[in-house]
Amino acid sequence: MDTPLALDTAACDRARLARDARFDGVFFTAVRSTGIYCRPVCPAPPPKPRNITYYPTAAAAASAGYRPCLRCRPELAPLAQQALAGQAVQRALALIHAGFLQDQPVADLAGKIGLSARQLQRLFVERLGATPGQIHATHRLLLAKQLLTETTLPVTDVALAAGYNSLRRFNTAFLQGCGMAPTVLRRQHHPLAADDGGLVLRLGYRPPLDFPRMLSFLRKRSLPGIELIGEDSYQRVLGTAERPTLLRVTADPKRPELRLQLGAVDPRLIPDIVRRVRRVFDLDADLQQVHAALGNEPLLARGIDERPGLRVPGGWEGFEVGVRAVLGQQVSVAAATTFARRLVDAYGAHLPGMPSEFDRQFPAPDVLAEAPLESIGLPRSRAATVRALAAACASGQLDFGPGQALEDFVARCVALPGIGPWTAQYIALRGLGQPDAFPAGDLVLQQVLGHAQGQRLSERATEARSQSWRPWRAYAVLHLTLMNLLFDRFDTPIGELTIAGDENGLAHVLFPENRHPARGREHWHYAPGALPEAREQLLQYLHGERSGFDLALAPHGTPFQLRVWHALALIPFGQTWSYLQLAQQLGQPTATRAVGAANGRNPLPIVLPCHRVIGSNGTLTGFGGGLETKAALLRLEQRQAPLFA
């Protein structure tokens, strides 16, 4: 067994033999006896150790003469992030994957990040086992292989999508890299054509991924007329007014993959669309590295334990994120969404023939640079900031392209009137996908980090505290802000209720006595009058004036628990289901025990009505608030006895 570069052979062996998806894309296994290279998750029988060579990238294996496996399909592996220790390599990789080398030489790539071509070549070979040109060539080849395997696109369109302007050059490169002609690979697969002439692609990631929480975050910040984010999907309109199209992203229930459904589109746009989807859902994150860097901080270790699949939600377009960040200065997320809706309605281009949910484009920078934004209710100073941001983008003074150094981008942002370090870091975090962005001036971060000392940390102290979390501070931001729940308590006939939540929604409803304690409760902040909607609707329910709830919910749980809790909301008011019925609703009729355990962990009783689940023989079973409370709630719903005299 031969292993070049700095890969740990023993660790690679363990991951390969276990088919551990957490290492997918971190290394590739080349097999000398077959001449192919595979992902760690390859289902083929393990080869003999003496025939194995480990490579850090697909390009390294390809440059050594190996072909991609047809079973495990290396094109599905997420990108590795081992290069993040070197910012120059990281920036160059981002530019390559965005197509920089499509029409520009390596010397220009090196110059863009401040190196000579020779220095860049040496760094790439040291870190990735391949030159920039080889990385680019393999990236194009694997995209073509995926499109040939999963879509019915004509071979000429596949060549265009992969960046080949010559069909003959594409055929030659594919034959050399895959050992067969593109048409031969196409004949081995029979993908179904989409009804609208579009395509469906599989996008892999290293588990875990908290997809429901990602959707919840994006839903609160969605752009009406452009995006529609449901309980299990993300939809967006894109393209031009002459040729708009829709995309839809859902989670594969069985594999660590997202499913991208894309309407008819110019094939040359496919690589950019895929790249943006991967950024929005942070699919290339290596959470093992992230957690190793953050886990030494006890506060973050608890957050990782509670939310192991938490990632950084990105934005589709950096300019959108920037405008939204300015709109959100000193107001709530809901207020910022209202301003964004007005802005899109007033200045976004109309897309004729599209449904109302998808009939707008986000306003272009040159449009907003001259717009009288005070007309949508923006304060004069904030309107001026949006115009300044738009003018800077329109002139090229500021751009949101890949490969930028974080400090350079922040410096250009804060040079604009009305944009400070907090806003600039937030834009970098979500608009550029910068994993080390850290808005140290954020009051929530300062409050959470200073909670143990009983006082809010200063911005300087917050920045200093974060240094050991580099280069993954953006993930620390997400974990820490989710710890800042506000709570209120109020009296009811079933005892005092405590409710807790944040800007994302209601997270907990607690009884005076609870079977399971709410983790992290010591970090909640008492705020009388917080969450007034939740309080009002709960009281209306207990008065018999409401049969359901219309609240933003933000429960935390495993993907299976979230599915169970979502199913609880389907039980009709005044009716009961057995655990078997609940399991059948989930399509897992043999999982009654697991369903019962998840039901018992429901953090939002009453709102997500776990009290409506009873034993198969009709008897009441355990309930966090006690069986007496459960019986009272069922009597109330069946109008047998009011809780309030």
Residue 537 has pLDDT above 80, yes or no: yes
Q: Is pLDDT of 568 > 90? A: yes
The residue written with tokens 């093992």 in the block is 288
pLDDT at res. 393 = 97
| 498 Rama class: left (phi>0) / alpha (psi -120 to 50) / beta | beta
- Residue 195 — pLDDT band, cuts 50, 70, 90? low
pLDDT computed for residue 6 by the predictor: 67
Q: What pTM was estimated for this model as a whole? A: 0.86
pLDDT value, residue 503: 74
Tell me the torsion sign for CA atoms 314, 254, 54, 171.
negative
523 vs 483, 499, 531, CA distance in Å? 7, 14, 17
pLDDT value of position 130:
95
Task: Name the CA dihedral angle for 465, 469, 472, 475, rounded to a multiple of 10 degrees.
Answer: -60
Architecture of the domain whose range is 318-437 = Orthogonal Bundle (1.10)
Other Cβ atoms less than 10 A from the Cβ of 151: the count is: 24
The residue assigned the tokens 């102290």 is: 461
pLDDT in tens, 392-434: 999 999 999 999 999 999 999 999 999 999 999 999 999 999 9
**What's the pLDDT at 645?**
44
Q: Residues 37, 67: contact at Cβ < 8 Å?
A: yes
φ and ψ at residue 35, rounded to 5 degrees: 75, 20
pLDDT of residue 641: 57
- Architecture in CATH of 9-74: 3-Layer(aba) Sandwich (3.40)
For the chain, give the mean pLDDT: 91
Rounded CA-CA distance 403/599 in Å is 46
pLDDT at 307 over 90: no
Question: CA distances (Å), 507 to each of 126, 485, 489, 500, in order?
Answer: 47, 8, 14, 6
pLDDT (tens digit, 9 = 90+) per residue, 491-506? 988 889 999 988 778 9
Average pLDDT over residues 519-540: 85
Query: How far is residue 136 CA from its own chain's centroid?
Result: 25
Using one digit for the tens of pLDDT, what is the confidence trace for 583-607?
999 999 998 999 999 999 999 999 9
- Identify the architecture of domain 492-637 in CATH: Orthogonal Bundle (1.10)
Tokens encoding 485: 């729940």
Least confident of 190-199, 423-432, 484-493: 190-199
pLDDT digits (tens, 9 = 90+) for 266-301: 999 999 999 999 999 999 999 999 999 999 999 899
Q: What is the mean pLDDT of residues 250-271?
A: 95
Dump the DSSP string for 415-450.
TSTT--HHHHHHHHHHHS--TT---TT-HHHHHHHT
Sign of CA dihedral 337, 342, 348, 353: positive
Helices 270-280 and 132-150 meet at what angle, rounded to 10?
100
* Contact by Cβ (8 Å): 187, 152: no
Task: Tokens for 168, please give them.
Answer: 């003959």
Cis peptide bond upstream of 528, omega within 30: no
The contacts of residue 469 (CB under 8 Å, 6+ apart) are: 293, 294, 297, 300, 438, 476
Give the pLDDT of residue 267.
95
The whole-angstrom separation of Cα 563 and Cα 212 is: 9
Residue 7, pLDDT > 60, answer yes
d(CA 591, CA 608): 20
User: Is residue 110 over pLDDT 60?
Assistant: yes
Strand ranges inside 476-516, DSSP E? 486-490, 497-502, 505-510
Cβ contact 68:178 at 8 Å: yes
Q: Is the pLDDT of residue 484 over 80?
A: no
Check whether 515 has a pLDDT greater than 90.
no
The yes-or-no answer on residue 38 being catalytic is yes
CATH 1.10.10.60-classified regions of the chain: 82-183
Q: Is a pLDDT exceeding 70 seen at residue 355?
A: yes
* Cβ contact 327:223 at 8 Å: no
pLDDT for res 530? 80
Q: Which two tokens stand for residue 493?
A: 């006939």
Question: What is the per-residue pLDDT for 5?
Answer: 56
Compute the average pLDDT of residues 326-346: 90
Catalytic entry in 436, 442, 488, 502: 442
How much is the pLDDT for 194?
66
Q: CATH 3.30.310.20 in the chain, residues? A: 199-282
199-282 fold:
TATA-Binding Protein (3.30.310)
Outline which parts of the chain fall under CATH 1.10.340.30. Answer: 318-437
Cα–Cα distance measured from residue 576 to residue 395, given in angstroms and rounded to the nearest whole number = 62
Q: In this structure, what DSSP letter does residue 349 have? A: P
Q: Which of 12, 24, 38, 436 is catalytic?
A: 38
Give per-residue pLDDT as tens, 120-136: 999 999 999 999 999 99
* From the candidate CATH numbers 3.40.50.300, 1.10.10.60, 1.10.10.410, 3.30.70.260, the one assigned to the domain spanning 82-183: 1.10.10.60
**What ranges in 514-609 are assigned the alpha helix state H?**
532-542, 559-568, 579-585, 592-600
> 592 phi and psi, to 5 degrees?
-60, -35
Query: pLDDT band at residue 84, thresholds of 50, 70 and 90?
Result: low
pLDDT level of residue 174 (50, 70, 90 thresholds) = very high
Residue 333 has pLDDT above 90, yes or no: no
Task: State the residue for tokens 């530019």.
Answer: 95
**pLDDT (average), residues 554-564:** 86
How far apart CA 588 and CA 140 sit, in angstroms, is 41
Which is it for strands 613-614 and 577-578: parallel, antiparallel or unpaired? parallel
pLDDT surpassing 80 at residue 643: no
- 566 or 526, greater pLDDT: 566
